[in-house]
Amino acid sequence: MNLHEIMELDQQYYMNTFGARTPVAFEKGQGMTLTALDGGVYTDYLGGIAVNALGYGHPALTQAVVEQARKLMHCSNLYYIEKQAELARLLVEQIGGPCGLTKVFFGNSGAEANEGALKLARAYFYKQGIQRYEVISAKNSFHGRTLATVAATGQSKYQAPYYPLTPGFINVEYNSMPAILNALTGHTAAILLEVIQGEGGVIEADPEYLAQVSALCKDKGLLLIVDEVQTGMGRTGKPLAIQHYDLKPHIVTLAKALGGGIPIGAVMAQEEVAQAFAPGDHGSTFGGNPLACAAGVAVVTEIMKPGFLDNVRTMGAALKWGLESLKARHGCILDVRGKGLLLGLELNAATDGKAIVQRMFEHRLLINCAAHNTLRFAPPLIIGEKEIQLLTDTLDKVLP
Ligand SMILES: *Cc1c(COP(=O)(O)O)cnc(C)c1O
């Protein structure tokens, strides 16, 4: 099929949730680049929205998936699954363990990981016979598209068509302690936050705020849930972004980069909290299946190799420096934000971020525009200096 034929089928048969997509269809990828059906080669600075952490066609990831597909793609959770056990151990030992997270449950997406986290928080109090079920989350956040995670997502554009929303969620201003204190009730169970709001425009939490939230949770016996679906798996230069803040949440969720392109999400929790899930309380048909877990094992193994996260930090700093230099030359840039390889460049109201994304696309560079008119960069973590130079040079041409 050519692009035109695909577009026609999409229009005729696919529900129109994505509107007019960027007019391109990719056939294959290698490293940082994607090749379109017409042969055009694009450099990807969005990485499938922070999913393709190892880039495209990574040999170890591809081999792990192909080998596992040959042996066994799926078997149910009625049986023990070697790759699931192996990935659980790797995640605890290498990713969550240093932050106090000792148990894992696998689902298939970020929203599902957050659903699991929310259910775990409610079960934790239910099992103690305590009537606590409310969750405080932030405005401008993004936690997914299921009914409960949409209620947690503090953006009316995602909620509007779905009233009545799942009860028990309160969305309060981000980075504001008074807003949280104001929302506390005798029924508050948990506070759910991103440490960097990704979809929300790469907005970082104030370290002081995070410390205060953490202290409040300790003081009131609330659970702290951190959504690391976008920021986790090395994206910010550390295995988890909470490590920049020395934060020790009770529950952390992962997805996006965890399978490097194969759908998988995870809930990680502290031992005592994880115990709240008893047999039958939660489950998943696909969650943690052999194929997805084989991919996860390959991804964790790669990103935890000596030097890998050093590259994320070095390249992240180089890109941030490059974006800051652009800010000195282009009055349309209001702010440069983010950590590691999750960076945002906020444009003033006179500059249409979507039009800049379009101009970059014409130069065959893929980026996107998140909330707050903010260009978002979440490239594969294998990015090198050459690609960073190409990005800043092209932005320099394209920005007014
Ligand atoms: C993408 C994202 C989600 C939702 O993940 P899905 O896999 O699309 O369900 C949840 N939280 C954050 C922070 C995200 O960036």
Output the CA 141–ligand 1 centroid distance in Å. Answer: 10
- Residue 390, token pair as written in the block: 């190409």
Q: Which atom of ligand 1 is nearest to the CA of 231?
A: 13
- What is the number of the ligand 1 atom nearest to the C-alpha of 227? 13
28: three-class secondary structure by DSSP: strand
Is 247 near ligand 1, meaning CB less than 6 Å away? no
Cα 327 to chain centroid distance, Å, stands at 26
The CA 253 to ligand 1 mean position distance, Å, reads 10
Q: Using alpha carbons, list the distances in angstroms from residue 129 to 41, 169, 276.
A: 58, 20, 12
Backbone conformation region of residue 162, classed left if phi is above 0, alpha if psi is from -120 to 50, else beta: alpha
Q: What confidence tier does 182 reach under pLDDT thresholds 50, 70, 90?
A: very high
DSSP string, 164-181: SPPSSEEEE-TT-HHHHH
197 CA distance to ligand 1 centroid (A)? 11
Calculate what percentage of the chain has a pLDDT beyond 90.
100
227 lines ligand 1 (CB under 6 A): yes
Q: How far apart are CA 245 and CA 303, in angstroms?
A: 20
Are 244 and 238 a contacting pair, CB within 8 Å? yes
CA of 229 to the centre of ligand 1 (A): 6
Residue 48 is predicted with a pLDDT of 96
Q: How confident is the model at residue 45 (pLDDT cuts 50, 70, 90)?
A: very high
Cβ–ligand 1 contact at 230 (below 6 Å) = yes
What pLDDT, in 10s, does the model give residues 380-398? 999 999 999 999 999 999 9
The burial of 348, by beta-carbon neighbours within 10 Å (0-12 exposed, 13-18 middle, 19 or more buried), is given as middle
Q: By alpha-carbon position, which residue is closest to atom 15 of ligand 1?
A: 230
Identify the bridge partners of residue 30 per DSSP, sorted by sequence position: 33
Strands 265-269, 251-254: pairing is antiparallel
Positive or negative: CA dihedral 375, 380, 384, 390: negative
Distance between CA atoms of residues 51 and 55, nearest Å? 9
Closest CA to 46 of 311, 393, 400, 387: 387
In terms of residues, how long is the chain? 400
- Kindly give, in sequence order, each residue whose CB lies less than 8 Å from that of residue 297, ignoring residues fewer than 6 positions away: 64, 83, 86, 87, 90
Q: What is the pLDDT of residue 347?
A: 98
DSSP class of residue 206 equals P
Q: Whose CA is nearest to atom 10 of ligand 1?
A: 143
Distance (Å, rounded) from C-alpha 42 to C-alpha 362? 10
Please choose from 199, 236, 262, 286 the residue to mutate so as to test ligand 1's pocket, defined by most ligand atoms within 8 A of CB.
Answer: 199
What is the spatial distance between Cα 58 and Cα 61, in angstroms, rounded to a whole number?
5
> Ligand 1: distance of its center to the CA of 227 in Å?
8
Protein residue closest via CA to atom 5 of ligand 1: 110
User: If you measure from the C-alpha of residue 256 to the centroid of ligand 1, how many angstroms do you get, rounded to a whole number?
Assistant: 7
CA of 171 to the centre of ligand 1 (A): 17
Question: What is the band of 90 on the pLDDT scale with cuts at 50, 70, 90?
Answer: very high
Of the pLDDT bands very low, low, confident and very high (cuts 50, 70, 90), residue 28 is: very high
The reply to whether ligand 1 has any atom less than 6 angstroms from the CB of 255 is yes
**pLDDT confidence band for 183 (50 / 70 / 90):** very high
Return the pLDDT at 92. 98
User: Positive or negative CA dihedral for 198, 200, 203, 204?
Assistant: negative
In whole angstroms, give the CA distance from residue 236 to residue 258: 14
Distance 5 CA to ligand 1 centre (A): 30
What is the distance in A from the centroid of ligand 1 to the CA of 230?
7
Tokens found for residue 4: 């035109």
> Dihedral of CA 198/239/205/265: which sign?
positive
Query: How much is the pLDDT for 327?
Result: 97
Pocket test for ligand 1, best of 137, 142, 204, 264 (most atoms within 8 A of CB): 142
Nearest CA to 136 out of 84, 88, 171 is that of 171
Cα–Cα dist 36/329, whole Å: 33
379: Cβ below 6 Å to ligand 1? Answer: no
Listed in sequence order, the DSSP H helices in the chain are 3-13, 47-50, 59-71, 82-90, 110-126, 147-152, 156-159, 177-183, 207-220, 271-274, 290-303, 308-329, 353-362, 385-398
Q: Is the CB of 144 under 6 A from ligand 1?
A: yes
Averaged pLDDT of the chain: 98
3-state secondary structure of 103: strand
Paired sense of beta strands 188-193 and 223-227, if any: parallel
Percentage with pLDDT > 70 across the chain? 100
Distance CA 281, CA 297 (A): 26
pLDDT band for position 35 (cuts 50, 70, 90) = very high
In 3-state terms, what secondary structure has residue 347? strand
Which atom of ligand 1 is nearest to 198's Cα?
15
Q: What are phi and psi of 154, to 5 degrees?
A: -85, 60
Taking the centre of ligand 1 as the mean of its atom positions, its distance from the CA of residue 144, in whole angstroms, is: 5
Question: What pTM was estimated for this model as a whole?
Answer: 0.98
pLDDT in tens, 327-379: 999 999 999 999 999 999 999 999 999 999 999 999 999 999 999 999 999 99
Confidence band for 105, pLDDT divided at 50, 70 and 90: very high
Does ligand 1 have an atom closer than 6 angstroms to the CB of 371?
no
Q: Is the CB of 204 under 6 A from ligand 1?
A: no
